[in-house]
Structure 1
Amino acid sequence: MELANDDSLTERYRELSDDIAAAVAIVSATRGSALHAITVDSFLDVSYDPPTMAVSIYSGSRMMETLEVSSHFAISLLNSEQRDISERLGASGQPLYGSLKGVDTFPGPQAGQPVLTEAIAWFELELTEVLEVATHNLVVGEVVALGAGRNAGTNRPLLRWRKGYGTIGQR
Structure 2
Amino acid sequence: MDQAYDDSLTERYRELSDDIAAAVAVVSATRGSALHAITVDSFLDVSYDPPTMAVSVYSGSRMMETLETSSHFAISLLNSDQRDISERLGASGQPLYGSLKGIDTFPAPHAGQPVLTEAIAWFELKLTEVLEVATHNLVVGEVVSMGAGADAGTSRPLLRWRKGYGTIGKR
TM-score grouping bracket, smaller chain normalisation: over 0.9
**How far did residue 3 of structure 1 move?**
14
Unaligned 5+ runs, structure 1: none
Q: Distance in 1 between matches of 2:150 and 2:119?
A: 7
Q: Distance in 2 between matches of 1:37 and 1:48?
A: 25
Map of 1:117 onto structure 2: 117
Q: Deviations over 1:37-96 (max 9, x none)?
A: 000000000000000000000000000000000000000000000000000000000100
Q: How many residues align?
A: 171
Map of 1:49 onto structure 2: 49
Contact persistence 2:155–2:170 (CA under 8 A): no
Q: Distance in 2 between matches of 1:3 and 1:92?
A: 27
Q: Distance in 1 between matches of 2:2 and 2:79?
A: 37
**How far did residue 19 of structure 1 move?**
0.2
Q: Deviations over 1:6-41 (max 9, x none)?
A: 110000000000000000000000000000000000
Q: Distance in 2 between matches of 1:139 and 1:152?
A: 26
Shift in alpha-carbon separation, 1:98–1:15, aligned structure 2, 3 A = same
SS of the residue corresponding to residue 13 of structure 2 reads helix
**How far did residue 115 of structure 1 move?**
0.2
Q: Distance in 1 between matches of 2:126 and 2:91?
A: 26
Q: What is the Cα-based RMSD across aligned positions, in Å?
A: 2.1
Equivalence map 1:1-171=2 (5 Å): 5-171=5-171
**How far did residue 170 of structure 1 move?**
1.6
SS of the residue corresponding to residue 102 of structure 1 reads coil
Unaligned 5+ runs, structure 2: none
**How far did residue 150 of structure 1 move?**
1.6
SS of the residue corresponding to residue 142 of structure 1 reads strand
Misfit runs of 4+, over 6 Å: 1-4
Q: Distance in 2 between matches of 1:98 and 1:14?
A: 31
Q: Deviations over 1:114-164 (max 9, x none)?
A: 000000000000000000000000000000000001211110000000000
**How far did residue 2 of structure 1 move?**
16
**How far did residue 5 of structure 1 move?**
1.2
